[in-house]
Structure 1
């Protein structure tokens, strides 16, 4: 079997029983279960959700996106072997630690397979909740150009690239296009201030103004917990993105929870501690792949300039990356996942067949 066959690239064609269109994102596909199947599983499995809660099967893939494009490799490789399993394993680990430490629950109810989550429907808070402990990436690029205010926070003069910030910064941005909010452009991923959120908390889907403080507390506590655990492995938690939403439990209580993914190489920057102390940044995250792409193509502005999206999409479509590049990315993802979880990431020979078998035999979700 070729390595390309071990990649789960297409994840929106599983024969899962559903009466709604499959929603496919850059990495995950979501299958909303029928009302009957949702109700049956809640009863059979004893999930702590309202009995009429909609449930979904969320299937991760091994696709890799960067700069808003999906990339592929030579030899028919449509993704990175082990990437999906690594991302899920890391998120599962952190979500469990959050719950065990009394922070908040997540949207995950069950994990039938390394590629699969059973999740409850959540009403998302329309904020990409970003925390930064070091100045690097887009913040550094803006700082060099003379910008000193980020999301209403004033940065001091004299900061140096890749160094620790004076304090942990929360720099939120919009999740999706939000219209009609004064001072906030109707664009995805626009930086916003705390005052923007306070003045328009309902537009961001907060149930109350006090929940803004709660989300900030959960963001900071989650960041600190992951940062502390990574420090034990001599890894540095640089920055990350969290997402939040509301769910209702079996007793009818509304809860603010963590959702999407947390502390993964896709949503965070993680640096090797010993290399950093020697003056070198070694990424254990997707940032390493981004840097590789910037170095690989002769005109990196195509990847950084949003006005050149057509050219960027053509680059991703027309250029198969060397297999060695994708295998190096695989080693990064599986390596950091095994460090964090203490368990081996097994690269399945046929992940799709395994998922179908489990969902048919153990969950009765496939006709």
Structure 2
């Protein structure tokens, strides 16, 4: 069994019954179920959703994306072994913990396989909800250049790189390109202020102004639950990105829920606490891979400058990365997943066939 066989690189070609195009993102692919299958599963499985709620199968791949490109390794390796299973295991663990702590629900209804979620359709809030406990990354870069206002928040003098902030900060950015919102540039992933959101709450898909405070509450609660749990396994939750959306439950109530993944090495910075106390930063997240790419290619500006996207895409397309680099990423992801969940991450010998078997035999979704 070659390493390449253990990697689920292409996840949009499964024979899952659907009458809509498969939506393939950087890492996940979404198969919208037919109305008949959605309604049948809601009845059969007793999901707490409206009886006519659209459901989807979400399949996570082992692809690795950084700087908006998908990267590959030597020997035909088109992803990172164990990465998808590690991400799902971590997210599933946090969502379970959220439930135990009485936090909001997530869009996940069922987990048929380590690489698969059954999800309900949600109306997404068009905000990348970012929470920061330490000053690092883009916030530090801005601060070190003398900027003292970040997402409308006034930052005090005297902050030090990689040190804890005076309080947990919420620094939202746009999700997708939003047009026609005063004061908000028409570009993906631009920083915005709370006032931007309040003044244009409907454009960001909020049902009411009051729900802005609700999303902030869920963001803080989620961050704190994960932060406390990571602390117990000697890890630090540095910053993270959450996504939220609206769904309707079986009783017809609209509610705000967590969407996508939470607290994973793809969406967060996680640092080793012992190393930090010794003055070193040891990343248990994708940040190390980003740094590798910046050091690996002679002209780092290609990766950082959005105006050089065609050159960046060519770099990702034309270069096979060293095998050991992708295996280091594999170790980082599986090790943090095993620390968080307390269970081993088992690599599938043939992930695609396993998914087809379980969705066919237990869910009746394979044609």
Q: Name the TM-score class by shorter chain.
A: over 0.9
How far off is 1:263 after superposition?
0.1
User: Secondary structure of 1:165's partner?
Assistant: strand
Is 1:349 paired with 2:349?
Answer: yes
Aligned counterparts of 1:291 and 1:180: Cα–Cα separation in 2: 35
How far off is 1:299 after superposition?
1.4
Aligned counterparts of 1:68 and 1:170: Cα–Cα separation in 2: 23
The CA RMSD over aligned residues, in Å, is 0.6
Q: Which is further off, 56-65 or 203-212? A: 203-212
How far off is 1:195 after superposition?
0.6
- The match for 2:2 is 2
Is 1:340 paired with 2:340?
Answer: yes
- The match for 1:103 is 103
Aligned counterparts of 2:6 and 2:274: Cα–Cα separation in 1: 33
- The match for 2:218 is 218
Q: Which is further off, 304-313 or 236-245? A: 304-313
Aligned counterparts of 1:360 and 1:258: Cα–Cα separation in 2: 28
Instruction: Give ranges in structure 2 of 5+ residues lacking alignment.
Output: none
How far off is 1:311 after superposition?
1.2
- The match for 2:32 is 32
- The match for 1:326 is 326
Aligned counterparts of 1:11 and 1:340: Cα–Cα separation in 2: 26
Instruction: Give ranges in structure 1 of 5+ residues lacking alignment.
Output: none
Aligned counterparts of 1:224 and 1:126: Cα–Cα separation in 2: 23
How many pairs does the alignment contain?
A: 367
Deviation digits for residues 299-349 of structure 1, max 9, x if unmatched? 111111111111111111111001111000000000000000001000111
- The match for 2:256 is 256
Aligned counterparts of 2:160 and 2:253: Cα–Cα separation in 1: 46
User: Secondary structure of 2:104's partner?
Assistant: coil
- The match for 2:124 is 124
User: Secondary structure of 1:251's partner?
Assistant: coil
How far off is 1:171 after superposition?
0.1
Deviation digits for residues 11-51 of structure 1, max 9, x if unmatched? 00000000000000000000000000000000000000011
Aligned counterparts of 1:200 and 1:137: Cα–Cα separation in 2: 28
Structure 1 stretches (4+) deviating beyond 3 angstroms?
Answer: none
What aligned pairs does 1:103-182 form with structure 2 within 5 A after superposition?
103-182=103-182
- Normalising to structure 2: TM-score of the pair? 0.99
How far off is 1:160 after superposition?
1.4
- Normalising to structure 1: TM-score of the pair? 0.99
Aligned counterparts of 2:94 and 2:130: Cα–Cα separation in 1: 16
Aligned counterparts of 1:82 and 1:171: Cα–Cα separation in 2: 31
- The match for 1:231 is 231
Is 1:288 paired with 2:288?
Answer: yes
Aligned counterparts of 1:299 and 1:286: Cα–Cα separation in 2: 20
Aligned counterparts of 1:360 and 1:306: Cα–Cα separation in 2: 43
User: Secondary structure of 2:321's partner?
Assistant: coil
